[in-house]
Amino acid sequence: MQDPRLSKYQNAKNLGVKTLKSVAKESLNNDFSDSEMQGSLLKSWVNLIKRGKKETFSESSFSNKTIEKPGFIRKESKLSKIAKYFLAIGLEKSAQIMAELDDSDIIAITREITKIKYITPGDKKRIIQEFEELVRSEKKYFKIDDKFTYEVLNKSLSKAKAKEIYKKVTGIDPFLPFDYLAFVENEQLWALIKDENIKTLLIIYNYLTKEQKKYVFSMFEKDIKKKFIKELAKPRRLNIDMVEIISSRLKSRFEMQGRLKTEKLDGSKILVDILSYMDAEDEKNLLTSIDMKALDPLKDSEIREKIFDINIILRITDNDMHNILREFTDNDIAVIIKDKSNEIRDKILFNVSRRRKDSILEEESFLKKIKKKDIKLMTTSFVDYIKNLTLKNELVIYRKNEEFV
């Protein structure tokens, strides 16, 4: 006849051993139900003990509401707790964890295991429950070994399942693909990915910001754009393993490339800035002598637009600005200030009455769905009105080096 103590001991060990199939069938909940998860969390516990985090395991760490009766774990040494936990999760996972420990730790824990005659299924449940409470109440210490925790899960399960369990337990996503690209300048991003094939680009594209996506797509050749759109339209499931490989490879290339900032010089902007300091007559003579229209008609048009853009109002006196704004409705002004810089908004709103300012801002609040082309159209109309006043010598535009009141 078999010793009943041995039977209980064996049952306790078997409860901790689960196949990947059974793990996959179980729904993820707040209980640490699978041995892989328990083993990885225990390694964090062991490391905390080794690093002298004695306060982590103090009695004050536990909630009396959760466990009303004093559990036997709290009455025993830390090594005894670990020894009983090893028995609870089963031989296979215990062996995997022991392989990560120092010889001195293995010897000490083994001695404790030999002292234990048996543990009941009820004891096992209480051990896991108390350990779960410890981890939840001491998350700030648990994060010390987050990397190891994820790696243990990753070795025992598929990557997708490991990430799912890890995120459920810690509330942290262990892997954010291409997160290092978030603050990369568009030019550098393109230099990094331009030689990738369509399928790889599709994977990377999914993780870019909205602005980055626009820029990258604009850089494709016409035939590449067609292929890309066709591939993008096809339903597909991303293989997380493949995503991780591509992300790691690209990150290595990014680190080798270094954070070399690419600075694009805007010649037309520089020229406009120079002209803004010149006398109006000198400005006209300079543009005539350069004859930019003959050299580059598009650039000539661009420069002339920039000479007279919305920023021109910053070189108009407040009194003139007030008179100009009287010719536009509250709704017109609301559209004009929409999506403009604080400097432009302040210049306009400062030159209307308080009551009118409130009315304009109220009108603006109703413009959430207004199209950008409508904003541009109204802004252009406003700037053209100012331009016509200057051509008729009814308005003075001051140079940047001139003071005005």
If one compares 105 and 43, the residue with the highest pLDDT of the two is 105
Q: Which pLDDT tens digit goes with each residue over 175-225?
A: 667 877 877 888 888 888 888 888 888 888 888 888 888 888 888 888 888
Q: Are residues 52 and 164 in the same domain?
A: yes
- What mean pLDDT comes out for the span 294-309? 57
- What mean pLDDT comes out for the span 131-137? 60
Q: Are residues 108 and 199 in the same domain?
A: no
What is the per-residue pLDDT for 85?
75
Nearest to 174 by CA among 50, 40, 32, 35: 40
If one compares 178 and 40, the residue with the highest pLDDT of the two is 178
- pLDDT at 65 exceeding the cut of 50: no
Query: Could you tell me the pLDDT band of residue 331, with boundaries at 50, 70 and 90?
Result: very high
**Whole-structure pTM value:** 0.32
What is the per-residue pLDDT for 171?
62
- pLDDT at 55 exceeding the cut of 60: no
- What mean pLDDT comes out for the span 269-296? 52
CB 220 within 8 A of CB 228: yes
- What is the sign, positive or negative, of the torsion defined by CA atoms of 255, 257, 258, 263? negative
Q: Which pLDDT tens digit goes with each residue over 81-100?
A: 777 777 777 766 676 666 66
Q: Are residues 293 and 358 in the same domain?
A: yes
Residues with Cβ within 8 Å of 143's Cβ and at least 6 positions away in sequence, in order, are 170
Distances 33 to 23, 128, 186 between C-alpha atoms, Å: 8, 9, 46
CB 321 within 8 A of CB 351: yes
Query: Could you tell me the pLDDT band of residue 253, with boundaries at 50, 70 and 90?
Result: confident
Q: Are residues 302 and 326 in the same domain?
A: yes
Q: Are residues 161 and 208 in the same domain?
A: no
Q: What is the CATH classification number for the domain harbouring 242?
A: 1.10.220.30
Q: Which pLDDT tens digit goes with each residue over 260-271?
A: 444 344 455 555
What are the phi and psi torsion angles at 48 (to 5°)?
A: -65, -40
Q: Are residues 322 and 347 in the same domain?
A: yes
Q: Are residues 249 and 129 in the same domain?
A: no
Question: End of a domain among 144, 170, 196?
Answer: 170
Residues with Cβ within 8 Å of 264's Cβ and at least 6 positions away in sequence, in order, are 187
Query: Could you tell me the pLDDT band of residue 282, with boundaries at 50, 70 and 90?
Result: low
Does residue 105 lie within any of the structural domains? yes
Query: Could you tell me the pLDDT band of residue 164, with boundaries at 50, 70 and 90?
Result: low
**Cα–Cα distance for residue pair 213/49, rounded to 1 Å:** 48
If one compares 386 and 267, the residue with the highest pLDDT of the two is 386
Question: End of a domain among 207, 235, 257?
Answer: 257
- The rounded percent of the chain whose pLDDT value lies above 90 is 12
What is the per-residue pLDDT for 199?
84
Domain ranges, residue 334: 267-391
- pLDDT at 53 exceeding the cut of 70: no
- pLDDT at 274 exceeding the cut of 70: no
Q: Are residues 89 and 28 in the same domain?
A: yes
Mean pLDDT value across the chain: 68
Helices (H), 116-145: 121-137, 139-142
- pLDDT at 298 exceeding the cut of 50: yes
Does residue 129 lie within any of the structural domains? yes
- pLDDT at 144 exceeding the cut of 60: no
Residue 402 amino acid letter: E
Nearest to 170 by CA among 289, 54, 280, 44: 44
Nearest to 362 by CA among 321, 331, 332, 339: 331
Question: End of a domain among 257, 290, 323?
Answer: 257
- pLDDT at 351 exceeding the cut of 80: yes
Does residue 205 lie within any of the structural domains? yes
Does residue 401 lie within any of the structural domains? no
How many domains does the chain contain in total? 3
